[in-house]
Amino acid sequence: MVQKADKIWFDGQLVPWDEANVHVLTHTLHYGVAVFEGIRCYKCSDGTSAVFRLKEHVDRLFDSAKAVEMKIPFNRDEIFNAILETLKVNKLEQGYIRPLAFIGEGAMGVHPGNNPVRVIIAVWPWGAYLGEEALQKGIRIKTSSFTRHHVNVMMTKAKVAGNYVNSVLAKMEAVADGYDEALMLDVDGYVAEATGENIFIVKKSRLKTPPPGSILGGITRDTLITLARDMGYEVVEQRFPRDELYAADEAFFCGTAAEVTPIREVDRRVIGAGKAGPVTMLLQSEYFKIVHGENLKYAGWLTSYEL
């Protein structure tokens, strides 16, 4: 169960958590067109709190809206500030932030007509996405029977609610089969991403991640590419088939929610030594330092807020 906070920001008002409701004929509920973000805020080592890469997340929200021709009735600064305001009223030191813009009630039928675009911002405490143990020991994954979207079937760069039916199906299948997460291939059969994470492999200290295509352009993916290059690693954005993943020295998933999660097994094949690899763990620890404000080189990625 989600851990409730006090208030949800809803179309510019702060309303009690239990009163942030919509009508059953909300267009999005029927046709799936909503755009959203997943953002984390952390309690920093100096006692303050900060949101990680807030500007990039707000920008992606507006880019997603543009892709689906949704006009958000607030500008970027207003959403940026509303997120900080929502964190403050809820006194959330550390947790997850979910802005969502959706099409409200009015006309029914596929064309959204002039139905209002509505916006909510919810925040709540959220620990390790795949469990604390996953961050340390790594997870077991399985190639999904579901293929990631073709770039002309869905707006794959956009974080659109309807895109996630594919993720939900893949995740349920993987969990029912006893795995922690699903590995999703693109329409040509190359490794794409997971249901809510991007993927990297490490071979001979060189990192490889699938190029933008059918994957979500992850902000954590971008963070790790920058970080790994700054640390002297070679990183390439290149397609690779699943047998290259099987033969990797290390593999990991990354995402706002999943942070940096090692992968120890894929389709019953042990990856590397069958535990979190050294490059993965180094990147994970550097990532945690950055989000907790312990690496001033990347302080520009943090937006502090007072509670």
Query: Where on the chain is the footprint of ligand PPE (CB under 6 A)?
Result: 38, 167, 193, 196-198, 216, 218-221, 255-258
- Comparing CB distances to ligand PPE, the nearer of 95 and 138 is 95
- Phi/psi for 176 (5° steps) reads -60, -30
Q: What is the dihedral of CA 46, 47, 48, 50, to 10 degrees?
A: 80
**How many CB atoms are closer than 10 A to CB 18?**
8
- Based on the residue annotation, tell me whether 159 is a catalytic residue of this protein: yes
- Comparing CB distances to ligand PPE, the nearer of 61 and 112 is 61
Number of residue whose CB is nearest ligand PPE: 38
| Nearest to 123, CA basis, from 89, 86, 81 | 86
Q: Which of 159, 171, 275, 289 is catalytic?
A: 159
CB of 192 to ligand PPE, least distance (A): 9
- Comparing CB distances to ligand PPE, the nearer of 98 and 275 is 98
Q: What is d(CA 18, CA 25) in angstroms, rounded to the nearest whole number?
A: 19
- Comparing CB distances to ligand PPE, the nearer of 219 and 235 is 219
CB of 18 to ligand PPE, least distance (A): 21
Q: What is d(CA 102, CA 157) in angstroms, rounded to the nearest whole number?
A: 17
CB of 284 to ligand PPE, least distance (A): 14
CB of 163 to ligand PPE, least distance (A): 7
> Which residues have a catalytic role annotated?
159
